[in-house]
Amino acid sequence: MSKIKILITLLFFLFIAHGKSFAQKADPTAVEVAELLAERKFNKIHKKFSGKIKLFFSKKKFNELWENLEAGNGSIQSVGKPKTTRKEDQVISKIPVSFENIALNMAITTNEKGKIIGFTFQTLDYVTPDWAKNKVFGKERLTIVTDTFEMEGEIVLPNNFENCPVVIIVHGSGPSDMNGTFGPNKLYQDLAYGLALQGIATIRYNKRTYTYGKQLATIDSFTLYDETIDDAISAVQKVSEYFYLDTNRIFVLGHSLGAFSAPIIASECKEVDGIIVLAGSPRPYYQIIPEQYQYLSEVDSNVTEEEQERLDRAIEERKFIDGEPSSVDGLKEMGNDDMIYYHRHMKTFDIIDSIQSNKIKTLIIQGDRDYQVPHATEFKAFKDKLNNTDWVTFTLVEGANHQMVEWTGKPTPGEYYKQGHIDFNTIVLLSDWILGK
């Protein structure tokens, strides 16, 4: 992913005071910086640095910073209005900057003299989707408990929640919070709000690897059960504690890796009445990684030597995991050697067979701009094997990426760092399927 340089952690000077913060009118320095950014007058911005920062970060380095940003992410397209908070005698402002392929906040800190004493780049802040603004939801905190593990979560309820169906939201890969936070977007929170507007409750929770990452890193035989399946089963069983939820209408919505897990969860947990396979693949995800690498290396039609080496290594690691002849005897691109057991255990699952055996209502849905789980191979594989299965429905959402946000143009990782939401028409599609409309 070297072509898409997301420079979020470039610099963050340790002159930031701690203390209570509160919103205020935009800082005049930040307003001026935003105007200068729009005009690409970087030297004038550098003049606003404090003396100590100028010594550390020269005018030449500052200009090179912007050259590198635009080389990796395209030219600046627009600059938004700063949002400002104050911490004691310092002011922190976030200035939204949109490039062709990414959008970031430039966060600057100024002192009492209006001089810049620190800056960094951050992802944009989450904003509530327009279709959920000024809407009222019922919310209640909960805890999902599996053995000694406790994961904080939340149930979101529609206004009329008596005897309503409930959806358990199961995360994708990696340590994710209950909202599915990725860049400025929160897919799982959007889903919870949207389904509530349609009369459907949801339960979502922090992933076990998000809460207990260090502890789990010491487990030698870590599997998908430890990462995802067991906690989802605990969440399904949690439904019975809420008298107002319909225990005959429990659905599991799995996203990405959670989509791969959903049929297994249903096999293990007979209380599940239907599953949603959202942006999922019938293959273990390690088998798709080389294809993702290939796409990313070719996205700008210029494959570097480093990108080719990573791709070649990923292909060999896939062979090694699958027990085929390979030039490697360990993992680097697919994690470390502790992940070998995890990957090989995942290979034992047959998701197509699970869906056929479960014989429960199943929706397989993804976007046609998903380069991580391409519909031309993964969605097609589901359809080829399950197209004549009465309880399976297929839906391909035009323009949606892996996070189910609709964009145009060639898909790139940078679009995940732009503000966006699942389209409400997709929410309606999901809810109509759940409600049997």
List, for residues 313-350, the tens digit of each pLDDT value: 999 999 999 999 999 999 999 999 999 999 999 999 99
Widest pairwise Cα distance in the chain: 71
pLDDT classification of 87: cutoffs 50, 70, 90: confident
Query: What number is the average pLDDT over the span 12-20?
Result: 31
Distance CA 56, CA 387 (A): 62
Least confident of 94-103, 178-187, 270-279, 425-434: 94-103
Q: Which pair of structure tokens corresponds to residue 332?
A: 């680097």
Same CATH fold assignment for domains 21-122 and 130-284+349-435: no
Least confident of 51-65, 267-281, 312-326: 51-65
Q: Which pair of structure tokens corresponds to residue 424?
A: 């409400």
pLDDT classification of 69: cutoffs 50, 70, 90: confident
The whole-number pLDDT of residue 2 equals: 40
Burial class (CB in 10 A: 0-12, 13-18, 19+), 264: buried
Residue 21, pLDDT above cutoff 70: no
Q: Which pair of structure tokens corresponds to residue 249?
A: 């209408």
Task: Output 330-338 pairs: Cβ under 8 A, ≥24 positions apart.
Answer: 333/289, 333/293, 334/286, 334/289, 338/217, 338/220, 338/222
Residue 289, pLDDT above cutoff 80: yes
Q: Mean pLDDT over all residues of the chain?
A: 90
pLDDT classification of 254: cutoffs 50, 70, 90: very high
| Class of the domain covering 130-284+349-435 | alpha beta
| Class of the domain covering 21-122 | alpha beta
